[in-house]
Amino acid sequence: MDTIYLAAGVGNRMKMELPKQFMPLYGKPIMVYALDVLEKIESIENIYIMCHPDFMDMYEKILEDYRLEKCTLVAGGETRQDSVQNGLAHVKSDRVLIHEAARPLISEELVNGLLQHTDPAVVPTIPVTFTVSAGDDVMTEELDRSKLHNVQLPQVFDTEILRRAHKAAQDEGYNATEDGILVFRIGETVRFIQGAENNIKITTPFDKIIVERMLDGQ
């Protein structure tokens, strides 16, 4: 199976000079943590790292320093969706796994759980444990959190169905922040499985503090 690894973002909300995928977490770039896990999974043969073209030398050094042998660098696009499309152009396997560098705490158990399913899309989620409402300046709608899902990555897809979903989104001018919704929009099944509470996405400096405490066992 091939993997598309999203690591081409700028990470403006981290307020750093370099993109957050290069940010050190106990001396190791954040992007390396999940790559180490993916490299160990036997069924994953190729990992296409979607890269910011202005920092290619940094990606190359990381691959060399951490001996990431399954990885190939691919230029990312203007948006996350563009980057996935660029990656799909390289994928040759019938099914494809998509992950992102900003989620460093994945496990082999989580990935193997995804790989057990054969649905067009397999997406890990965790329950929404807080109250959610809709509206701008005032509340306009009450949302039932028992029917809501906090969507995570990694996700696994039927490659051709995902390509078709991206083509449909492109034709419609629709842009999504994850790929499960694109598959859902073309009428295909999106299977939810149990995600992991510690599978945190590092978006802000506070998220990094949380991940550091988790790595400390706190």
Domain edges within the chain: 2-215
- 66: confidence class by pLDDT, cuts 50, 70, 90: very high
Q: Which two tokens stand for residue 183?
A: 């598959």
Nearest to 83 by CA among 69, 73, 93, 71: 73
Mean pLDDT, the chain, as a whole number? 94
What residues contact residue 102 under an 8 Å CB cut-off, 6+ apart? 9, 11, 20, 21, 30, 201, 202, 203
Cα–Cα distance for residue pair 209/123, rounded to 1 Å: 26
Pairing of strands 149-151, 139-142: unpaired
- What average pLDDT does this structure show over 93-99? 98
- Higher local confidence (pLDDT), 26 or 38: 38
Looking at residue 17, what is its pLDDT?
A: 72
Q: Which helix (H) or strand (E) covers residue 157, if one does?
A: strand 155-158
Cα–Cα distance for residue pair 140/59, rounded to 1 Å: 45
- 95: confidence class by pLDDT, cuts 50, 70, 90: very high
Whether the predicted pLDDT of 21 surpasses 80: yes
Q: Which two tokens stand for residue 125?
A: 């989620």
Whether the predicted pLDDT of 12 surpasses 70: no
Looking at residue 11, what is its pLDDT?
A: 62
What does the pLDDT look like over 170-188, one tens digit per residue? 999 999 999 999 999 999 9
CATH assignment, 2-215: 3.90.550.10
